[in-house]
Amino acid sequence: MGLPNLINKFTNPEKEKKEFFLALEILEETVKGAIWTIEEGKSRILALGSDEIWEEGEEELTAAVDKSLTTATERLAEEGGEPSRVIFGLSEDWAPEGKILPEYQQLLQSLCRKLDLKPAGFVSIFDAIIHHLKEIEGTHISAILVSPGKKIVWLAVVDSGQIKGVEKVSRSENFAADVLEGLLRVDGVEIFPSRILLFDGGDMESLRQILIDYPWVKGEGEEKKLPFLHLPKVEILPQDFDIAAVSIAGGEELAQSLGFEVTAEKEKRGEIQETQETGEETKEKEEEIPQETDLGFVRGRDVAEMISPQPSEEKKPVEPEVLEEELVPSNIELPVETKPAVKKGLRLTLPRIALSFPKIPLPRPRGFLVPAVIAGIILIGFSGLFLWLVWYFPRADVVIYASSQMLSKKTTLIVDPNQELPDQKNFVLPGQVLEVETSGEKNTATTGQKTVGEKAKGEAVIYNRTDAKKVFGDGTVIVGPGGLKFTLDREVTVASKTPDLVSGVDKWGESKVAVTADNIGAQYNLAAGSQFSFKDFSTSSYLAKNEAALSGGTSRQIPAVSAKDQENLLKTLTEELQKKARDDLKTKASQGQRLIEESASAKEVNANFDHKVGDEAQNLTLNLSVNIKGLAVKENELFSLAENYLGEAVPAGYELRKSDMDFKYDLKKRNDDGSVVFDVAISADLLPKVDKDQWAKVIQGKSVTQTKDFLRANIPGFQDAEIEFVPHLPAKLQFIPRNTDHLRIEIRSR
């Protein structure tokens, strides 16, 4: 017989104490808890815990579970009992194929140790929901179950109560597309159920409307068409339906394994149908299951197969001070006693732990002396345990929230690398020069344009109308129609005019020479017979004509490097390198130093562009190296100067803390000796002054309400206080530890 049952029979043999159980659902983003019990053969949920968010890590999970179960326990306080065992509801990736993965098994074991939980088994969340829906609707369901988390969307396709596939999809901005992606991953489903059930999400009504509006039958594209016979009906399961399913589905099987008669309720078309009782009475367990330390659970195995029968003969004595735990592997079949039938379709597997106590030889007094001695020993043991729990074990963190007062003053600060000691009177601090050099490369598209092309070419005949020959040098300019200029490609000599005795008209001297347009462009392609003049001579003396058209002149616009392109690229890359260099300067500051970023100055070391201004190029690349120098000061000297400056302005009852100070610098001047002058604004959040050691002695042993009343009366601007207890006891048992070493007090502003 278990020790608690023995005490119960001595104190109240007529009345069996009601036993309470925990259910805990763990998903990748949230946890939620519940407390349930068995009353008149039925599972009944007594209290639901809060939904708590966790991201990753054992500490975050433990804190979230602790808060949820604490909420449920506080709501259960009026029932006068405390839960004894816990059933876990787990997602598919924690327990694929009905077995918890080793890393999650270790995580759950650590969780149970920290929160003093007794693991009793686990169920798959989807299995539990399917089981609960069958109990409610009276038939195996066919539906698509969807759990829309903030980061993950879980879905399961269920056909006649059987899961055809479970998928996990990362949440995007398009919820319907996430569900579509999950369904497309499910293989082997010819026709999808035309019913979608949403549970455990945020704004469920808006998500429901998104799925209703989505064209499931047509699909967004032929390749994404899904095998729906018609548009699915989208429903929302009640809030906390999932944790209720874990409690009821897992609870029924655990209850049967403990010897309770369980009557499942079925509700269909508004009528309640009760299942028939088996009539078979289960034997009262001779020994309760002690605290479990492992989670050897396997889906699909009967509970009865996992619990070894209790031998009828007396156990053999064991060696004193030995506590033996034995776990039954899932692949070993054991002989079993006749147990109540377990419903098909859902299996909750319980670990078996054999617990033995040493036999202590005692005298055999007669009458009622034996129960009295045992009761006395138990009372002394529990009294000692209670005193230990009250005095040594509990811990508490008291976080006090109070309104703060802002204090701000401005002054002029000089940071001088040549100074050795701080001068608080003149606001001068010694500074250390920190220096780094960094380089980088950046490219950009060019925005400049350049006109390129070919010059027109041809031949012209030069006429000399004077009495003397004329020599025109290479490069001589002749001007054609529209002021277009051409140059002679070579030196040319033109003979003088000669009289014609027959006609009486002088014949001009002439000479043919090649000419080239002064600039590019098609406008220089002049027609034959165009007349040209010389810049420095009248046409009455010299002129030129082209017998054939001038041709070959072209022009076009091309991308080119502009001066603005180089200027903008240099500015952008310099700013990026300065930011990187400032980060490097921070790392160069030794422990206890603070870099004044506003003191940093950059000097260009080397800048190389791959193209010059005017070069034809679509992109411009710059390689740049810069040198950055900045000043760092010692934090203790800076804070000491600030405390001395602000100290007189701190109101009575408030204190100035270094962690709440802030400095804003405005560069004013750089001196030739290397010192830098700043206009600095020093501000601080002032919080009420707290004598933590003295207050710890005052509030020790007080309740939460008494503690808050004391703080409210003694702290100016008191807003609230948050008190976290370890372990988390029911509200009526929460008192500030009497051991002040286990009490931490902190004050903050909101």
Sorted by where each begins, the domain ranges of the chain are 139-239, 454-554
As a whole number of angstroms, the distance between CA 90 and CA 127 comes to 10
For residue 632, the model assigns a pLDDT of: 93
For residue 675, the model assigns a pLDDT of: 92
Pairing of strands 676-688, 654-655: antiparallel
As a whole number of angstroms, the distance between CA 118 and CA 17 comes to 18
For residue 72, the model assigns a pLDDT of: 80
As a whole number of angstroms, the distance between CA 274 and CA 446 comes to 82
Sheet strands (E) in 482-550: 485-488, 492-494, 509-520, 531-534, 542-545
For residue 689, the model assigns a pLDDT of: 83
Asked if residue 727 has a cis previous peptide bond (ω within 30° of 0), the answer is yes
pLDDT tens, residue by residue, 260-271 = 554 544 443 333
Report residues of the chain scoring pLDDT below 70.
1-18, 40-42, 77-82, 84, 201-202, 218-225, 250-370, 387-392, 504
CATH tag, 454-554: 2.40.30
For residue 64, the model assigns a pLDDT of: 86
Pairing of strands 83-90, 20-26: parallel
If you ran DSSP here, which 8-state letter would residue 69 be given? Answer: H
- Say if CB 52 and CB 65 are below 8 A apart: yes
Instruction: Tell me the CATH class for 139-239.
Output: alpha beta
The string of DSSP letters for 194-255 reads SEEEE-S-SSHHHHHHHHHHS-TTT-SSGGG----SSPPEEEEPPTTHHHHHIIIIIHHHHH
For residue 344, the model assigns a pLDDT of: 38
pLDDT tens, residue by residue, 268-310 = 333 323 333 333 333 333 333 333 434 444 444 443 344 334 4
If you ran DSSP here, which 8-state letter would residue 423 be given? Answer: B
pLDDT tens, residue by residue, 302-356 = 433 443 344 434 434 333 333 233 333 333 233 333 333 333 334 444 443 333 3
For residue 298, the model assigns a pLDDT of: 43
For residue 357, the model assigns a pLDDT of: 35
For residue 256, the model assigns a pLDDT of: 60
For residue 79, the model assigns a pLDDT of: 58
For residue 471, the model assigns a pLDDT of: 92
